[in-house]
Structure 1
Amino acid sequence: MKNCLILLLLFAIGCKSKEESSTPTPPPVTPVDTVGKFRNPILSSAPDPWVINKDGFYYVMHTTGNNLRIYKTRNISRLASATPVTVWTPPATGPNNRDIWAPELHHINGKWYIYYAADNNGVDATHRMFVLENASADPTTGTWIDRGQLNLPENKWAIDGTVVRLNGQLVYAWSGWENDLGGSQNIYICKLTNPYTAEGSRVRVSTPELTWEKQGFGVNEGPQFLVHGGKVFIVYSASFCGTDQYALGQLSADTTANLVAQTAWTKSPNPVFGPYASGTTYGVGHNSFFTAPGTAGAPEYWLVYHANPAPGQGCADFRSARMQPFGWKADGSPDFGSPVSLNEYIKRPSGE
């Protein structure tokens, strides 16, 4: 009997040892390499982001609705740690006292200019473009001179103005209506004789005509110039920003073309970024661009845009500013890829 008990004990120990040895050992957890990387957003609430870099600094603006603020930083991926400087507040009354939208900061002929949209006492039909000028080397300092309304041809409803100098000529693009009564938003273009004076007629270069441009209602807005090689592109936002189907479209022309001729521009039949409605990214749009120094003389190209972190958040302050690098296709057009998740790490721009 004693021998039987010993055998049973040995058998039990043997079974236990075998059971324990069959349990897999979990692999070691490999930490995520975050050195030299960042995650979006670069600002948690920043609709209509605009970025320009000059003399080693990035200057950033976005819609606040009630003033104009500039962020200044050497490290765009750490923008959230920068303190914005309020450089202008609207007057209590007048044509530009409300709804301050989509400001852009440009350096032209040795001076800084801010283009912004505003209206009179909240009456949307009165939205027009306005200009401020500053001769200081640093746009967060010095005095901003009010150059008043940019009197665009036909003096119709206008928002989201932007400018480019090409072949010695200033060219201005914006989003507008055919009249002051609403309807589809189109992209218009004209020449400028100086940063605050328009000349000639306005030319419509794009209207929302494709299905992906008419979600909610027909919208072409937020035009941005991008010049590369022998091509100039206007990358614009399409569909109503209140939908999750907001996306980027593209027009292209040769740099040698007459840019204020409608026939100079060709529209891409499909969106070039978005629409994207998944995970942490909804309603991508209202973009801008910047370049980082890069290596071996080849600059890095970056896309900046806003998006909502959840569905159905529309045109409100949930829109956060995000950025990601992009490349170029064989035909010379930009290759923006797909929006990067807020959970994904991205290598910081060169120079940071």
Structure 2
Amino acid sequence: MNGVVYAQSFQNPVLDSGADPYSIYVDGFYYYTHTVGNRIVLYKTRNLANLRQAESKTIWIPPKGTVYSHEIWAPEIHFIDKAWYVYFAADDGDNTNHRMYAIQNTSNDPFSENWEFKGKLAAHPDRWAIDGNVFDYKDQLYMVWSGWEGDVNEQQNIYIAKMSNPWTLEGNRVLLAEPTHNWEKQGDLNDAKNPPHVNVNEGPQFLEHNGKVFIVFSASGCWTDYYSLGLIEFTGDDLLDPVAWDKKSKPIFIKSEENGVYAPGHNSFFKSPDGSEDWILYHANDNPGDGCGGKRSPRMQKINWNDDGTPNLGVPFSTQTKLAIPLAN
């Protein structure tokens, strides 16, 4: 691009800072975003290994004084029915009011100024919600997200609902998973700066491979080194049937003290430009105790598949490890 010759290997992290990384691939380019907090920033590159050299732009800043003016978390960009959408969680400055929202751009170029606020996405009942992930399954749009059962923070669960259009949830939300294992409940209750509850399932991501469907999610407090990824496998006929989902008893991606990678979580997935490789994007810390703030940086690595069809994410690679970039066309 622009005559620049890029290296054929890279080292993590792909940016110095950026939590909750997400990307899509459209017409030869990756469009990437992560949590900034007060706005939405978009990157554009032909290969995510070259993210440091990517064009970037702030595409949307919330108006002041609204219920969605603060704490913009985990944005995701999607291209649906020839229109661009960014989904994000936001509040009015009070975390208890976090909800999911959408903006839309119907132009060809998501870097254009044509972003329109479409409103809140809420299923019944309308409760605290973050980390929405939208996907298409058998020509039906769905959203999965992390939410509270009631109006107080007792624990974070994974919910799913159908969508009647790309900015509207339809009907009742359905509970897919809640924290049940010790590795989903890690947190420091003695630290007054941290939330009092550590039962956390969040950051759900849809993943499909060879006819199998999964939700990969993050578990435990993001402020702990034990933040990790779990797996739910779809084993039935109806995505809205809780019985049709099987949560694995062990995490599938955890910290590596040997490799100096802590609190790996809030991931997404992408394919290499040539479509032959599956990759994971995730954030992690370089040191123990780095917490749930600006020290989290986006990383990526190729994943494999187990004989039973489940994803094998491996071990987080050291920042000293040179990795081959995703295969280009």
Specify if TM > 0.5: yes
Give the whole-Å Cα distance in 1 for the aligned partners of 2:216 and 2:14: 21
Q: Report the alpha carbon displacement of residue 112 of structure 1 after superposing the two structures with TM.
A: 0.8
The answer as to whether partners of 1:247 and 1:276 remain within 8 angstroms in 2 is: no
In 2, the alpha carbon distance for the partners of 1:214 and 1:278 equals 23
Provide the rounded CA distance (Å) in 1 between the counterparts of 2:124 and 2:231: 24
Inter-partner Cα distance in structure 1 for 2:83 and 2:276: 25
In structure 2, give the amino acid aligned to 1:337.
Answer: G
Give the partner amino acid of 1:223: P
The structural deviation recorded for 1:142 is: 4.3
Name stretches of at least 5 consecutive residues in structure 2 with no aligned partner: 1-5, 188-197
Once residues 277 and 266 of structure 1 are traced to their aligned partners in structure 2, the CA distance between those partners, rounded to angstroms, is 29
State how far apart, in whole Å, the 2-side matches of 1:152 and 1:87 are: 27
> Which residue matches 1:321?
298
* Matched letter for residue 294 of structure 2: D
Q: What is the 5 A alignment of 1:1-352? A: 36-120=8-92, 122-216=93-187, 217-254=198-235, 257-294=237-274, 299-351=276-328
Contact 1:50 1:105 in 2 (8 A): yes
State the distance in 1 between where 2:207 and 2:286 align.
27
SS in 2 for 1:48: strand
Aligned AA for 2:215? I
Deviations 1:9-37 (A, max 9, x none): xxxxxxxxxxxxxxxxxxxxxxxxx9621
Cα deviation, residue 150, structure 1: 1.0
Contact 1:63–1:103 (CA<8 Å) still a contact in 2? yes
Ranges of 4+ aligned residues in structure 1 off by more than 3 Å: 275-279
Q: Which residue does the alignment assign to 1:22?
A: none
| Superposition deviation, residue 231 in structure 1 | 1.0
Work out the CA distance in 2 between the residues paired with 1:71 and 1:330. Answer: 36
The alpha-carbon deviation at position 274 of structure 1 amounts to: 0.9
- For 2:123 and 2:18, the matched residues in 1 are separated by 27
DSSP-derived class of the 1:276 partner: coil
SS at match of 2:276: strand
Offset, 1:250 = 0.5
Query: Using the alignment, how far apart are the partners of 1:162 and 1:168 within structure 2?
Result: 16
Read off the aligned partner of 1:115 and give its amino acid letter: Y
Q: SS of the counterpart of 1:221?
A: strand
Residues 135 and 142 in structure 1, CA contact (< 8 A), matched pair in contact too: no
- Quote the sequence identity (%): 46
For 2:98 and 2:256, the matched residues in 1 are separated by 29
Q: Residue 259 of structure 2 contacts residue 317 of structure 2 at CA under 8 Å; is this kept in 1?
A: no
What amino acid sits opposite 2:253 in the alignment? F
Which has the greater radius of gyration? 1
TM-score, normalisation: structure 2: 0.93
Paired residues of 2:255 and 2:316 also in contact (CA < 8 A): no
**Which amino acid letter does the alignment assign opposite residue 181 of structure 2?**
L
TM-score, structure 1 normalization: 0.87
SS in 1 for 2:142: strand
Q: What residue ranges of structure 1 are gaps of 5+ in the alignment?
A: 1-33
Count of residues in correspondence between the two structures: 314
